[in-house]
Each structure stands twice: as structure tokens, then as C-alpha cells.
């Protein structure tokens, strides 16, 4: 198998894939939750004119809060204890154009709202866990000096966006390296990383694409390879502790884009037999078609929805289970008051977390495999041949 050819095909698809995933991740930012270091407002008069900031740091941290903060998207990365790495905030504020600054500009930290006086006329609020005025946690709103709300388009590089860009960069570098390795050793057995990648690619081609799609499998291999490795590497990144708790494939905006791409490719490549099966199945009475056709049309949209929900739910559930057993240590120790009980529970929790981490390594591969397999089955269904 010529791995270099597949690598070049994957590279052709990368720009579209990056753009689509970026848009999807930006659309999911309203579900995030943010932390950050304390910074003084650059304009205290404007701050006072719009109301004082209420700090909620004194609130006790519950298990639910602890878990939510780790699996949700955010405008910064919580890394190694109290270290917060700010990320770029990119906003288009009504009447004030494009604004770019770091998330550390928002005053305050913890779970409450954080504010930043953009100018003497505009106060931005990064909403925390319990936002007022019906705002979504993690969203950013703007108010002018007269108290009027301004429209805000949030295009920020959030934690999930940063994570997916990092994964896509790793994929591009990895596949370019593998392609160069094959070019330097034509006709010779692959070594090292090239050998591992060839094993996975041959497996996907021979055990997933060809049995599911048939003779046209090579047409869809670039997309299937891209999706598989993106999901697999993203899942692995989410399992690395102490680097921010990335939950890329557990972010709804990312999985919506992946499922939408599968839906678009299936729809565009659907042949005559595929659409006849949806709208005009041969030999079926018209009164039966009146019942089956709406069901088939609903099924067209249910397939990508199922893909999206399955991936999001499974990856998020794994993170929640691990974090829940971590929380047990703090719950039973009562914040350090009962060290003995906390230590006893800690032994059990640690042992179970190790088991769950081993299981999640398997799940990281299985979820990538299942998503790729179902996508291949949908593509194969779209290219079905007439049955005689």
C-alpha cells in the first residue's frame, strides 16, 4: 500500500476540515465556563459606572462544579494547579468593530462573572456559572454607558478550538513525516512510526472502507482517515492529566461539524438507487409510500444526529466518571477535616481511576473506529447498486 498517496489526499482535505471544525467550535462557546487570574480593570471609572463586580470565590466548590469546570469549554486553559493560560478573545462588538485581546484582561477569577472595561463607553462581561439576564455560562455580553446591550459576535480561540487546532497541526506534521519517510525508502518495509501508521491505515481500508463501501472505497478514504485520526488523537489528548482537561470530541460544536460533514458527503454522493429507496421504492403501494417516505426522510437526519450524540455522550461520560471518583476523596474527607476517611476512599478511588483510564484508552480508539465505520456504512448506502 502506498501510504504517501493517502497522506497527500488527507492533506488536500485539511483546509476544509480545519475551517469547518473552527466554525463548529466557535458556535459552542456559549456552553463554556471560564477561570482566570485577577487583573485590575484598565478603566475603574467605567467599571464603577456599570456596577460593581461580585466575586463568588468564597462559594464552596461542589463535585458538580468541579466536574463541569473540567469538561466544559473555556476562554483559558487551567494547567497544573492554579496556573491559568489565557487565550485570545476575538469579538465583533456592535458599533465598535473587531476587538482582540487576551482573556486575562477580564477582571476577577473563580465561578462568578468577570468584567473588562473595553473603553469608557463599553463594559464587557464574561458570564460565569450563574449569569444574570438569561445569559449563557461562558458567553460574553457588552453594555454601553447608557445600559444598552450591544450585539457581540464571539470568534474567540477557546480551549476546545485551541485543542483541535493543536491536533490538526500534529496530524499534518505526522502525515507529512510519514509520507517523506516512504519517499526516502521506496519499495522497502516501513519502520517506526510509519509502520504503526500503515497498520492503522491498512486496517481502516481493508476492514472498514472496502467491506462497507465496496469498489469505490478509495474515493472516501481521505475523509475517513482524517476523521478517524482526528477523533482518536483528540480523545487521547483529553486523557492526559494536568494539561487543561481538553474535551474536544465532547464539545457539541465539534461533533455537530463532524456529523454534518458525514451528512453532506452522503447526500452529495447519493445515487439514483439511494434516492429511489427514500422516495419511490419499486413495487411498494402508494399508500404505504405515504407512510414510509416521511420516515425515510426523518432517517436521513437522524443518522448524523445519532453520530453526534453517541460521540459526545461517550467521551463526556468517561471524563465525568473519572472526575466523579476524584471528587469522592474531597467529599468524604470534608475538605481535609477527615484525613483518615479521605485517605481510605482515596485508595479505592485511585485504583478505580487507573482502571477507568485503561478503559478510556480503549474507548478512545473504539469511538474513533465506530464513528468511522458508521460513516463508511452511510457512504456505502449512498452508493448502493441496484438489486436484481
The 10s digit of each residue's pLDDT in 166-220 is 999 999 999 998 888 888 878 777 777 888 888 899 999 999 999 999 888 999 9
Domain total in the chain = 2
The mean pLDDT of the chain is 77
Residue that is last in its domain, among 122, 157, 192: 157
Residue that is last in its domain, among 119, 139, 157: 157
**Quick check: is 388 in a domain?**
no
Same domain, residue pair 95 and 120: yes
Residue that is last in its domain, among 104, 126, 157: 157
Same domain, residue pair 148 and 214: no
Judged by average pLDDT, the poorest of 33-37, 98-102, 117-121, 206-210 is: 33-37
Same domain, residue pair 109 and 211: no
Question: What integer is the mean pLDDT of 116-145?
Answer: 81
- Contact criterion met (CB below 8 Å) for 46 and 5: no
Same domain, residue pair 18 and 40: no
pLDDT higher than 60, residue 45: no
Same domain, residue pair 137 and 189: no
**Quick check: is 88 in a domain?**
yes
Report the pLDDT value the prediction gives residue 38, as an integer from 0 to 100. 38
**Percent of the chain at pLDDT exceeding 90:** 24
pLDDT higher than 50, residue 5: yes
Same domain, residue pair 96 and 166: no
**Quick check: is 13 in a domain?**
yes
Report the pLDDT value the prediction gives residue 242, as an integer from 0 to 100. 72
Judged by average pLDDT, the poorest of 26-30, 133-137, 142-146, 258-262 is: 26-30
* Cβ count near 54 (within 10 Å): 11
C-alpha distances (whole Å) from 237 to each of 120, 159, 290 are: 41, 12, 48
User: Can you say whether residue 115 is alpha, beta or left, with left for phi > 0 and alpha for psi between -120 and 50 degrees?
Assistant: beta
**Quick check: is 112 in a domain?**
yes
Same domain, residue pair 151 and 168: no
Cα of 333 vs its chain's centroid, Å: 34
Question: Counting beta carbons within 10 angstroms of the beta carbon of residue 218, is it exposed (0 to 12), middle (13 to 18) or buried (19 or more)?
Answer: middle
Judged by average pLDDT, the poorest of 12-26, 87-101, 245-259 is: 12-26
Same domain, residue pair 123 and 71: yes
**Quick check: is 276 in a domain?**
yes
Report the pLDDT value the prediction gives residue 18, as an integer from 0 to 100. 45
**Quick check: is 387 in a domain?**
no
Same domain, residue pair 169 and 151: no
User: In this predicted model, what pLDDT tens digit does every residue of 305-337 receive, in sequence order?
Assistant: 999 999 998 888 887 877 777 777 666 666 556
Residue range of the domain that includes 70? 33-157
E strands within 81-188? 83-86, 88-93, 97-102, 114-117, 122-126, 140-144, 149-150, 152-154
Same domain, residue pair 215 and 323: yes
Same domain, residue pair 137 and 182: no
Burial annotation 236-245 (CB, 10 A radius, 16+ → b, else e):
bbbbeeeebb
Q: How confident is the model at residue 294 (pLDDT cuts 50, 70, 90)?
A: confident
Same domain, residue pair 170 and 312: yes
**Quick check: is 227 in a domain?**
yes
Helix (H) or strand (E) holding 323: helix 286-332
- CA dist 116 and 93 (Å) reads 13
How do beta strands 152-154 and 88-93 pair? antiparallel
**Quick check: is 351 in a domain?**
yes
Cα of 107 vs its chain's centroid, Å: 27
C-alpha distances (whole Å) from 156 to each of 116, 159, 174, 210 are: 15, 9, 27, 40
Amino acid at each position: 500500500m502506498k501510504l504517501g498517496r493517502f497522506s497527500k489526499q488527507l492533506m488536500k482535505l485539511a483546509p476544509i476540515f480545519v475551517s469547518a471544525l473552527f466554525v463548529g467550535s466557535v458556535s459552542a462557546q456559549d456552553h463554556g465556563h471560564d477561570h482566570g487570574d485577577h487583573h485590575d480593570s484598565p478603566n475603574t471609572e467605567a467599571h464603577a459606572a456599570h456596577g460593581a463586580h461580585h466575586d463568588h470565590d468564597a462559594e464552596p466548590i461542589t463535585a458538580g462544579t468541579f466536574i463541569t469546570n473540567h469538561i466544559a469549554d473555556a476562554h483559558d486553559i487551567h494547567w497544573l494547579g492554579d496556573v491559568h493560560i489565557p487565550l485570545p478573545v476575538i469579538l465583533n462588538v456592535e458599533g465598535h468593530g473587531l476587538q482582540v485581546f487576551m482573556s486575562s484582561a477580564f477582571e476577577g477569577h473563580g465561578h462568578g462573572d468577570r468584567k473588562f472595561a473595553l473603553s469608557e463607553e463599553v463594559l464587557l462581561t464574561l458570564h460565569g456559572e450563574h449569569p444574570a439576564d438569561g445569559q449563557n455560562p461562558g458567553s460574553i455580553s457588552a453594555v454601553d454607558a447608557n445600559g444598552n446591550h450591544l450585539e457581540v459576535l464571539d470568534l474567540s480561540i477557546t480551549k476546545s478550538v485551541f485543542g483541535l487546532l493543536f491536533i490538526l497541526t500534529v496530524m499534518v506534521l505526522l502525515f507529512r513525516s510519514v509520507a517523506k519517510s516512504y519517499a526516502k525508502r521506496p519499495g522497502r518495509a516501513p519502520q517506526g512510526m510509519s509502520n504503526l501508521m500503515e497498520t492503522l491505515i491498512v486496517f481502516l481500508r481493508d476492514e472498514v472502507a472496502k467491506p462497507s463501501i465496496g469498489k469505490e472505497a478509495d474515493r472516501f478514504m481521505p475523509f475517513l482517515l482524517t476523521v478517524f485520526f482526528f477523533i482518536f488523537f483528540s480523545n487521547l489528548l483529553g486523557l492526559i492529566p494536568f494539561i487543561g482537561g481538553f474535551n474536544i470530541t465532547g464539545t457539541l460544536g465539534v461533533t455537530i461539524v463532524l456529523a454534518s460533514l458525514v451528512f453532506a458527503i452522503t447526500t452529495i454522493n447519493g445515487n439514483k438507487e439511494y434516492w429511489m429507496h427514500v422516495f419511490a421504492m419499486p413495487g411498494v403501494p402508494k399508500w404505504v409510500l405515504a407512510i414510509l417516505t416521511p420516515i425515510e426522510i426523518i432517517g436521513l437526519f437522524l443518522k448524523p444526529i445519532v453520530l453526534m450524540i453517541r460521540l459526545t455522550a461517550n467521551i463526556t461520560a468517561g471524563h465525568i466518571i473519572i472526575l466523579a471518583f476524584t471528587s469522592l476523596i474531597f467529599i468524604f474527607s470534608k475538605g481535609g477535616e477527615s484525613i483518615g476517611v479521605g485517605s481510605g476512599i482515596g485508595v479505592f478511588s485511585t485504583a478505580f481511576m487507573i482502571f477507568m483510564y485503561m478503559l478510556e484508552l480503549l474507548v478512545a480508539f473504539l469511538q474513533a473506529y465506530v464513528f468511522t465505520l458508521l460513516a463508511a456504512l452511510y457512504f456505502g448506502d449512498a452508493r448502493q447498486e441496484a438489486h436484481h
